[in-house]
Amino acid sequence: MKKLENLFEGIIFSSRWIQAPIYGGLIVGAVLYTYKFLVELVHLCVTVGTIKEEVLMLGILTLVDISMVLNLLVMVIIGGYATFVSRINLENHEDRPDWLQKIDAGTLKVKLAGALVGISGIHLLKSFIGIGQKDFEQVKWQIIIHVVFLFSTLMLAYTEKVLHSSKLKS
C-alpha cells in the first residue's frame, strides 16, 4: 500500500510540469507584444514631425503600457515557473533579478497586482488625456475599476505582511 501511495504522490508532484508549456506560450506572447511595441515605436518615429503633441503623448503612453505588460509577463513566467514548476539555477548568474530569491506565491500575487494597478493607471491616464472623445460613463467605470485594483492590491500586500510577520514570530 505504501508503494502505491508513493507512486501516486510522485505522479501528483510530477504534474507540475503540465504548466511548463503555458510558460512557453507566455514567452511567445511576449515576443508578439514586443513586435507590437516596435511597430508603435517605428510609427511614432516616422510621424513625429506631423502629429500633435497629444497624439505623441498617447503613443508614448502606449509604449509604457506595453513595457509594463511585458514586465508583468516576465514576472509571471520567471516567478511562476520558479515557484510552481522547478527551481531556476541562477545563483551565480550576474543578471539574476534580486526579487527572484524572495519570491513565493503570495509575493508573486502582490507583485502582479501592483503591476495591474500600474497598467490600469496608464489606461486611466490615456482616458483623461482623450476625455473629450470618451464617454464620461466609460471613464467613470475605468476609475471605479482602478480603485478596486488599488484596494485589492493594498489588501493583498497587507495580508502578505501579516502572514510573513507571523511566520517570523513562529
Mean pLDDT by runs of 10 across the 170 residues of the chain is 92 93 96 96 96 90 91 87 84 77 76 86 82 76 90 90 72
The domain locations on the chain are 18-169
Q: Give the DSSP H or E segment for 108.
A: helix 105-129
Q: Three-state SS string across 54-119, please?
A: HHHHHHHHHHHHHHHHHHHHHHHHHHHHHHHHCCCCCCCCCCCCHHHHHCCHHHHHHHHHHHHHHH
The amino acid present at 161, given as its one-letter code, is K
Closest Cα to residue 87, out of 76, 99, 75, 78? 78
Tell me how far apart the alpha carbons of residues 114 and 120 are, in angstroms, rounded to a whole number.
Answer: 10
Q: Position of cell 545563483?
A: 91
For 35-50, the pLDDT digits (tens) are: 999 999 999 999 999 9
How far CA 52 is from CA of 39, 57, 59, 61, 135, in Å, comes to 19, 9, 11, 14, 22
- Tell me the whole-structure pTM to 2 decimals: 0.74
**C-alpha span between 153 and 44 (Å, rounded):** 33
